[in-house]
Amino acid sequence: MNQRRTFLKTGALGAAAAALPTALWAKAAGPLGANDRIRLGLIGCNGMGFSDLSSLMRLPDMEVVALCDVDQRVLDRRTTEIESAGIRKPDTYTDYRQLLDRQDIDVVVIGTPDHWHCLQLTDALEAGKDVYCEKPIANSIEECDRMLAAVNRSGRMVQIGQWQRSQPHFREAVDFLHTGALGPVRLVKTWAYQGWMRPVPVLPDSPAPDGVDYKMWLGPAQTRPFNQNRFHFNFRWFWDYAGGLMTDWGVHLIDYALFGMQAQTPKTVMASGGKFAYADDASETPDTLQTVYEFDGFNLLWEHATGIDGGNFGRNHGIAFVGNNGTLVLDRGGWEVIPENEHESWRQLPDQPKIEAMPLRRAEGSGLDLHTANFIEAVRSRDASILRAPIEVGFHAARVSHMGNIAYKCGRKLDWDATRGRFADEEAHRLTRASYHNGWELK
């Protein structure tokens, strides 16, 4: 029992259950019948999927009944961890469709690589499940479109794993922004400088490890020989499966830029970058990228760099809203306001609004735990309006991020046709389409 308590308190991220809203605990901890237990199934158990499951298991009346992963070693490790915490061993599968066939599963968590999200989400909806799906929602704009339509006609509860939408200090910062104290905001900067990311060494192709269903891992992606570089975590740096830092971190940070500016789709996008730092490593996605999106009244800048931490305002990631009266800087550690009133010429303008500096307001609580709690509250109430990151949030953040990658691949400024919901440029439009292989079809 002590081991179980430790697991539920620390889980994969070490977040405390005490961070959850008191009102939700009171609601969930009341008298519940057998039918009020929520039974969970996890598809993709190696990374954030298991972190999401751990967070959900810290809530009352959750029961994990099934795990699915294409790697038997991962399944064995996760089931051992669950059993060692005093929790009944879940059933295991290597084909997610068998998990979805179970009538006793209420909620499915999708923690697989990006290229699987669309099929697994739409299949889960058809199976009548509510879904917590990791970000980015898809590996193409066409998939984003299909997923948005599928969720909206399903009547199911779907939360996207952009957990910063539930983090209190992020929402507090946006509330301050919306007071208008910064004045007109002309530029929003978003960035991810990731010093921990080292070059991906070139490795030869090899047989898939024992216990790995590599054909199922590939799924709709193009058939290629197994290579350890493309498997598990590093799939992020290969176009077949993901979009590099642009989509991996971009959906989190660009999402809050869009949220803060109450915007959705840019008019134009252009991007420049490449493999400037590690030209000869195994990865395909750029290690350095700058992307400029033009909206009505402001520009949005995304930039990323691997192997270095020297980002804007001394932060290795963040969002900065640059206004006439000051700049609000926000990241996972907290937020602050830097006033625009130090220059002598500014002080000589008596009618110019002044704002005071706001020192760093630090983050509190676990955004992930709050996010999963918000999802379960929607599942229990059947009220999708309370979801902090519904499918629309994931859709807009992923689409804008994919636009940046498409502009990078095309190497020129692109116009977005808002009337038709597509790029005016035919080559760019082709790059919005999903490419499915191995007998898998986009629904």
CA distance 248 to 12: 19
pLDDT digits (tens, 9 = 90+) for 345-380: 655 566 666 788 999 999 999 999 999 999 999 999
Q: Would you state the pLDDT for residue 443? A: 82
Whether 321 and 185 have beta carbons less than 8 Å apart is answered as yes
Q: Are residues 414 and 377 in the same domain?
A: no
Neighbours of 422 (CB within 10 A): 16
Residue 28 pLDDT more than 60?
no
Residue 293 inside a domain? The answer is yes
Identify the residue whose tokens are 């490795």.
203
Q: Are residues 178 and 326 in the same domain?
A: yes
Q: Are residues 229 and 130 in the same domain?
A: no
Residue 128 pLDDT more than 90?
yes
Number of domains in the chain: 2
Residue 24 pLDDT more than 50?
no
Of the listed ranges 22-26, 213-217, 326-330, the one predicted with least confidence: 22-26
Domain containing 321: what range?
A: 168-364+396-430
Residue 106 pLDDT more than 90?
yes
| pLDDT top residue among 77 and 340 | 77
Q: Are residues 22 and 124 in the same domain?
A: yes
Neighbours of 50 (CB within 10 A): 23
pLDDT digits (tens, 9 = 90+) for 380-439: 999 999 999 999 999 999 999 999 999 999 999 999 999 999 999 999 999 999 999 999
Task: Please report which residue ranges of 17-64 form alpha helices under DSSP H.
Answer: 22-28, 48-57
Q: How far is CA 74 from the centre of its chain?
A: 22
H or E element in which residue 380 lies: helix 367-381
Residue 326 pLDDT more than 60?
yes
The percentage of residues in the chain with a pLDDT greater than 90, rounded to a whole number, is 87
Q: Would you state the pLDDT for residue 275? A: 97
Residue 181 pLDDT more than 80?
yes
CA distance 263 to 70: 39
Q: Are residues 330 and 373 in the same domain?
A: no
Average pLDDT estimate for 169-178 = 98
Q: Would you state the pLDDT for residue 5? A: 42
The mean pLDDT of the chain is 91
Band (23; pLDDT cuts 50, 70, 90):
very low
Residue 388 inside a domain? The answer is yes
Q: Are residues 97 and 36 in the same domain?
A: yes
Q: Would you state the pLDDT for residue 356? A: 87
Q: Are residues 199 and 304 in the same domain?
A: yes
Q: Would you state the pLDDT for residue 342? A: 65
Average pLDDT estimate for 268-279 = 97
Q: Would you state the pLDDT for residue 33? A: 35
Nearest in space to 131 (alpha carbons), one of 8, 252, 249, 38: 38
Q: Are residues 160 and 275 in the same domain?
A: no
Average pLDDT estimate for 312-340 = 96
Q: Are residues 88 and 213 in the same domain?
A: no
Nearest in space to 136 (alpha carbons), one of 238, 242, 30: 242
DSSP assignment string, 286-317? -SEEEEEEEETTEEEEEEEEES----GGG-SE
Q: Would you state the pLDDT for residue 344? A: 63
Q: Would you state the pLDDT for residue 355? A: 86
H or E element in which residue 334 lies: strand 334-339
CA distance 55 to 37: 16
CA distance 25 to 350: 52
Nearest in space to 132 (alpha carbons), one of 389, 395, 423, 412: 389
Residue 79 inside a domain? The answer is yes
Band (29; pLDDT cuts 50, 70, 90):
very low
Q: Are residues 56 and 18 in the same domain?
A: yes
* CATH number for 385: 3.40.50.720
Neighbours of 423 (CB within 10 A): 22
Residue 108 inside a domain? The answer is yes
Q: Would you state the pLDDT for residue 340? A: 87
Which amino acid makes up residue 145? D
* CATH number for 343: 3.30.360.10
CA distance 357 to 337: 6
Q: Are residues 211 and 232 in the same domain?
A: yes
| Three-state SS at 100 | helix
Average pLDDT estimate for 305-324 = 95
Q: Are residues 267 and 386 in the same domain?
A: no
Q: CA geometry: angle at 340 spanning 335 and 345, to 5°?
A: 170
Q: Evaluate if pTM is beyond 0.75.
A: yes
Residue 126 pLDDT more than 70?
yes
| Three-state SS at 223 | coil
Q: How far is CA 86 from CA 7, 12, 68, 79, 80, in A?
A: 9, 16, 20, 11, 10
The percentage of residues in the chain with a pLDDT greater than 70, rounded to a whole number, is 89
